Structure 1
Amino acid sequence: MRRIGVVLFDGVEELDAVGPWEVLAHWTRTHPEDGWDVTCLSRDGAAVTCAKGLTLMAHHSFADAPALDVLLHPGGRGTRTQLHDGEHLDWVRRRRAEVPLMTSVCTGALVYAAAGLLSGRPATTHWGSLDLLSELDLSIEVRPDDRFVDDGDVITSAGVSAGIDMALHLVARLAGTERARQVRRDIQYDPRPPV
């Protein structure tokens, strides 16, 4: 069984975590034959309070999480303290050494940049944080117009709803385009903004 881990932390933007979770959990539970599972982890394994007040429970702590094949780091106001949290940045660097595919949503890319994961690579983040992404590492090729950027073993995505697009891209990459289309149809993801 291959595993995807979604990082949870106080101040995580709800949809950054729950949007991709919806895509990935629907896929893995509806199509177990694909051999993937998705789980959530927080530093201590406890519940977190999201940016808008929603409480989410983790399945694992960082210490007892299973080996992962994909790590998804969401964004949110909680990432601002992580940029200066040596323990968290070291944890991210250790995951980079053992997790084949690192992904981020929104300002999760800032954490990856602060940890040195995006040096010399193309990347994106929420439009309001593009300048900060560049400031964190001048060698990053910032892609302001991309919903997500797939650079092989690192995928970054823009703000909030772009994480759903990135998660569907991830399903397509891991299980094929037709599977991703099935998941998209099942969850009725067909954005038509009313305004």
Structure 2
Amino acid sequence: MTTEIQPNSHPTSDTRRGWMTRLALGAGVAALASTAGAQAQSGKKTVGVILYPDFEVLDVFGPVEMWANVPNMKVIFVAQKAGPVRSAQGVSAVADYGFDTSPALDIMMVPGGIGTLPELKNEGLLQFIREQDKRTELTTSVCTGSALLAKAGLLKGRRATSNKKFLSIAQSQDSSVTWVKHARWVEDGKYVTSSGVSAGTDMALAVIARFHGKDAARRLARTLEYQWSEDPNNDPFAIG
């Protein structure tokens, strides 16, 4: 029996969404709400997290914990078909949308995991990533998710990173990419790729800082009792 995890997408969830930051209130949420208010005319940013079988749980839920606490970010899960998708750790997350029903995404995040390998041959997934990328403000990845971005042809001539232990998987998808070995995350234009697993949470905070400023991201991290590694070039897990 698997456990299913679903993002906050139901009407009653808005009152629960970000409960910890709202209880802590103060600085973190106030700053985020303030800067989000300035963007109210454009509405919430839809953050689409792509799910596929055997995705890595922390790749998904580290960033989701951060983004879901930002007032003007609405996090949704998207998969080939709507419904439960089993992770590499055995728990399932519930995709709100299939590829054929997904709304346009403002921010797209592709996680990694052992499931990356078969998905490199999934043209349906790759085409969905390409089509959504035409409209995104930011396209992001965690861990070996950057291999999928490279396979989709989105990183040509750019700088990017990936899980260092499996960097060869990403490198083999596109030799025109400058694969950075010593980086917690890498930003190149609208593309933000992170190193392995826990690095995705640091990357997610960098995305928040991009829209709301570093101070707001720091305060949110402190409210959630997370020590943000702010330096994208400082990767303690880099090899070689």
| TM-score normalised over the length of structure 1 | 0.91
- Counterpart CA distance in 2 for 1:150 and 1:37 is 22
Counterpart in 1 of 2:73?
Answer: 36
1:15 to 46, 52, 58: 58
Cross-structure match for 1:3: 46
**Aligned with 2:127: secondary structure?**
helix
Unaligned runs of 5+ in 2: 1-43, 230-240
> Please, which runs of 5 or more residues in structure 1 have no aligned partner?
none
Question: 1:97-136, aligned counterparts within 5 Å?
Answer: 97-136=134-173
**Letter aligned with residue 17 of structure 1:** V
- State how 1:129-144 maps to structure 2 within 5 Å: 129-144=166-181
- Which of 110, 113, 117 is equivalent to 1:76? 113
Contact 2:161-2:185 at 8 Å conserved across structures: yes
Render the CA deviation track for 1:148-169: whole Å, top value 9, x for unaligned: 0011111100000000000000
In the alignment, which residue of structure 2 is the partner of 1:50?
A: 87
Residue 171 of structure 1 pairs with residue 208 of structure 2: yes
Question: Are 1:183 and 2:226 matched, yes or no?
Answer: no
Asked if 1 retains the 8 angstrom alpha-carbon contact of 2:221 and 2:228, the reply is no
How far apart are the structure 2 equivalents of 1:68 and 1:90? 14
CA positional deviation for 1:191: 7.2
The CA distance in 2 between the partners of 1:45 and 1:56, in whole Å, is: 10
Distance 2:124 2:183 in 1: 31
Partner of 2:41: none
State the Cα distance separating 1:3 from its structure 2 match: 1.1
Runs of 4 or more, structure 1, over 6 Å off, are none
Instruction: Please report the TM-score for the alignment, with normalisation by the length of structure 2.
Output: 0.74
Query: Contact between 2:104 and 2:132, CA under 8 Å: does it hold in 1?
Result: no
Report the identity percentage: 38
- Residue of structure 2 equivalent to 1:161: 198
State the match for 1:96 in structure 2.
Answer: 133
Max Rg structure: 2
Tell me how many residue pairs correspond in the alignment.
Answer: 186
